Amino acid sequence: MTTTEAEKVDVLICGSGSAGLCAAVWLARFGVNYRILERRDGPLKTGQADGVQTRTVEIFDSFGIAEELLREAYHVLEVAFWAPDPRDPGEIARTRYAADKETAISHQPHVILNQARLNALMTGLLGPEPPVEYGCEVREVRVDDGAAAEDPDAYAVTVTAVKDGVERTYRAKYVLGCDGAHSTVRRSLGFKMVGDSSDAVWGVMDVYPRTDFPDIRKKCVINSAAGSILVVPREGDALVRLYTELPAGTRVADVSLEGLQAHARRVFGGRYPLDFAETAWWSAYSIGQRLADRFHRAHRVFLTGDACHTHSPKAGQGMNVSLQDGHNVGWKLGMVLRRLARPDVLLPTYVLERERTAADLIDFDRAFARLFDSRYRRENHVSPRDVADHFVRAGRYTAGQAVRYDPSVITAATPSSSSSSSSVASGLTVGMAFRSAQVVRFCDAKAMQLVKGMPANGQWYLVVFAGDLARPESAARLREVTRSLERIAYRFTPPGADPDSVIDRILVLASDRKTVEQDEIPAFFTPVTGKRGMKCLTKVFADEESYNSGHGHAYEAYGVHPERGALVVVRPDHYVSKIASLDEADSLEQFFEGFMIPQRT
């Protein structure tokens, strides 16, 4: 085989699925030199996963691509539960409806859109010529442990791939194994998947159904005497996905479209005849609940997504958790390669945070899977009502909003003083996603979600709840806090860079906006930025009634008392990193020193 000379790249992403593309979006934003190798001939065209958790919608929103997603997607608002009709157990009857999501879980909805389209939206953020090498198959990954330990800048990982029959060699500082359930990267490093030995086989069909079943445009959990089906309406008002767990012992190779359709007809029963006008896509795939025994090698190669965790699709987690792995590691590599953070401290947090998330997912999935197992339900006297209750209770988890990272150098859970810092913002939890609330922008009276003012460009956010500036104590305290924050942000920002490019700032007032003048707001919150050197006016907000969109009650939602105020440090991925009282502003310097590299004295 012909070979080419080794090419050097800072980050090599193996696989352009959900995890790889999401990591790539960050790397593109940080201006890092990266490349994606993808075995397929071109972008994913159709099929695979489709459920988009509220947390994933929030991520898309932070990247600026949620509008397309929300416009195109099916919005899941209600779930219908169906079970054998007690009067005629061969037929099904609706047992109840439930809201798909409690309002407090997220300001974003749970939606359905095919994975190919989600991938395309992320690819669209990679620039006019995304650096994806299609038709390029990774064959081997080797790490030079000595070089990796000695020199942080070493191209310590060698990847061999084949494209058009020609062998290519890449030398990279970091490699992401985003190459799915049958990961070559994982195998090449000798890591193993540990867990269930038997894989359940799932059938999935995207169909245009002809039926009188009344809930065909709603998400439904159907547990009938003939088996279980999950109905998931799709984008475009006509297409519907049907998920079926096939009987134990079924082999993927034996599954046929006709068989899946016949099974679906049996589950819907005689009362609701089901016909298929067209089948847009179908697949059968086997999934075991498994976890990789290692997630990294020398903190130079990291596994993400299906390459390190697989489980059933029942709770719609696979694509989301995978994408969120890429989301977690991407900004960390970006900071390290821009020399803003220490690799030895920041990169291990990927493993700490996502290994635990994956292990929790496997446990969750095991319990959730039983609800769909008719034999388990029968033997353990699980009633249709129990199934529905469990489904509703699991709502926060399935929305992706239950993830809570353990204390670490970037999630400082322990209050730094006796003032019990976390209670100054009791609506937030360190290690969990920063929730949003509606506020009114100071400069133009626009009612908006606070997170809209915190785009994901790689910077950290200091969110200052300063209270009411009409109170002289609050105004004086804000001036004092600002002096500390200004010094800290300056210290970690490279000379010549915009002052808000590493540590950004957001001010939320509990004041009557119309009584506050711009010159009462410290200049720290209106930094001069961008190529035109203009004052940025979009970082100051008030918690008040808007003209046309009601009141967001943000202080109440965040659990902040206007007279006490609070200081919240939010990571680039919008997880809460630290909560402090306003008199603890100085302590943030030590916190950032824990993982960032000071750029100036």
Ligand X SMILES: Cc1cc2nc3c(=O)[nH]c(=O)nc-3n(C[C@H](O)[C@H](O)[C@H](O)COP(=O)(O)OP(=O)(O)OC[C@H]3O[C@@H](n4cnc5c(N)ncnc54)[C@H](O)[C@@H]3O)c2cc1C
Instruction: Give the interface with ligand X as residue ranges (CB under 6 A).
Output: 14-20, 37-40, 48-49, 51, 115, 137-138, 178-180, 184, 204, 283, 285, 305-307, 313, 316, 318-319, 322
Dihedral of CA 561/567/569/573: which sign? Answer: positive
CB of 171 to ligand X, least distance (A): 17
301 in Cβ contact with 143 (< 8 Å): yes
Alpha-helical segments (H) within 303-461: 318-337, 343-346, 348-370, 374-379, 384-393, 395-398
- φ, ψ at 189 (rounded to 5°): -85, -5
Q: What are phi and psi of 396, to 5 degrees?
A: -65, -40
Determine the Cα–Cα distance for residues 362 and 312; give it in Å rounded to an integer. 9
Closest CB to ligand X among residues 184, 349:
184
DSSP string across 84-134? EETTEEEEEEEEEEEESS-GGG-SSPEEE--HHHHHHHHHTTS-SS--EEE
Measured in residues, the chain has a length of 601
- Residue closer to ligand X by CB (options 196, 545) is 196
Give me 123's structure tokens. Answer: 């690819």
CB of 175 to ligand X, least distance (A): 12
Neighbours of 370 (CB within 10 A): 15
Return d(Cα 491, Cα 487) in angstroms, integer: 6
Measured from the CB atom, is 331 or 595 closer to ligand X? Answer: 331
Question: Using an 8 Å Cβ cutoff, are 438 and 552 in contact?
Answer: yes
Q: How far are the Cα atoms of 19, 92, 280, 501 from residue 180, in angstroms, in the given order? A: 9, 37, 24, 34
Determine the Cα–Cα distance for residues 289 and 521; give it in Å rounded to an integer.
53
122 phi/psi in degrees, rounded to 5 = -70, -40
Q: How far is the CB of 289 from ligand X (least distance, A)?
A: 13
Q: Which of 178/347 has CB closer to ligand X?
A: 178
Q: Which is nearer to ligand X, 285 or 490 (CB)?
A: 285
d(CA 332, CA 349): 9
Percent composition of the chain: helix, strand, coil (DSSP 3-state, to 5):
30, 30, 40
Q: How far is the CB of 140 from ligand X (least distance, A)?
A: 10
CB contact burial 64-75 (16+ within 10 A = b; e otherwise): ebbeebbebbbe
The SS3 of residue 556 is helix
Q: Are 317 and 365 contacting, i.e. CB atoms less than 8 angstroms apart?
A: yes
Residue 376 CB, nearest approach to ligand X (Å)? 21
Instruction: Indicate the angle between helix axes 115-123 and 18-30, nearest 10 degrees.
Output: 10
* CB 58, CB 106: distance < 8 Å: yes
CA distance to 36, 327, 357, 398, 583, per residue, from 364 (Å) = 32, 21, 10, 10, 41
Q: What is the SS3 assignment for 104?
A: helix
Q: What is the 3-state secondary structure (H, E, C) of 190-242?
A: CCCEEECCCCEEEEEEEEEEEECCCCCCCEEEEEECCEEEEEEECCCCCCEEE
DSSP code string of 279-298: EEEEEEEEE--EEES-SEET
